[in-house]
Amino acid sequence: AAPRPAHGCGSGALLGRSGVLLQALLALCAFSTLMLKRFKEPKAERRPWRIWFYDTSKQAIGALFIHFANVFLSDLTEEDPCSLYLINFILDATLGMLLIWLGVKVVSWIVQHKKYTYLVFGEYGDPPQAAAWIGQCILYLLIMVFEKTVISLVLLIPGWTKLQQILLGYIPNPQLELVLVMFVVPFIVNAIMFWVVDSLIMRKHKQKDTLDINGSTETPQARRTEESQVLLSPDMDFDQSESDQDISGLWGTSQKMKQPSYQVVI
């Protein structure tokens, strides 16, 4: 029997002309989902364009790092790079998404506990400061490095080669495989991931009055409690001694009115 021809894209296909064009189209379409998400926000809570750019640019930097890391790892072996890239991408969208969520939660807890207000995701000060954005980008990039390192260690587990042969072995056309791996599947998964991660790292509307970039914290509940205490407390400008005199005077007047009057006739 004649040997079955090997399918799959060749080495270097991910960085070829078609691959680069598909990657640029993917970045444009995936980034447009974040713009759509901004317009879906309520008008009262919609982020200004500058804040939106600060939030989404962190994801863009992290996504570019993950993407080029996957391209690099896919060309390390002589296997089909398209299927290797797809396996990396699927792991990033499942286990990696869990690691990103965990990393954001841990980092957010640490910076809030240490009161590093510049590093709280989504908090940039008023007016927004580029220094806060740079610090948060570095933190988010470290989370991406942690996520990709764990995924790379998972790929060292034996058994992925069989999945690689099954995953795209039924597609006879290398160009069709390239389009599926570099555009169709990543666009669908990235749209979901970008939407979820943006909700994690954006400034929550309910926390709008909670954190101050100068380090002071004041919640709306605490402010309402303070206002109620002021309303219930006695007026500081009211003189207690004068009030006592007025009350005693009124009491004396009322006592005089109650006493009977006598006339002495001689």
Q: What is the mean pLDDT of the chain?
A: 75
Cis peptide, bond prior to residue 220, ω within 30 of zero: no
**Is 210 a residue whose pLDDT tops 60?**
no
Lowest-pLDDT choice from 92-96, 144-148, 198-202? 198-202
**Token duo for residue 95:** 């286990």
Has residue 248 got a pLDDT over 80? no
Q: Is 217 helix (H, G, I), strand (E, B) or coil?
A: strand
Q: What are the tens digits of pLDDT across the range 3-30?
A: 333 455 766 667 777 777 888 888 888 7
Cβ neighbours of residue 132 under 8 Å, at least 6 residues apart? 118, 119, 123, 124, 125, 213
Note the pLDDT tens digit of each residue in 143-178.
Answer: 999 999 999 999 888 777 677 667 666 777 777 878
Q: Report helix, strand or coil for 11.
A: coil
Q: What is the CA radius of gyration of the chain?
A: 33
Q: Could you tell me which residues are beta bridge partners of residue 211?
A: 217
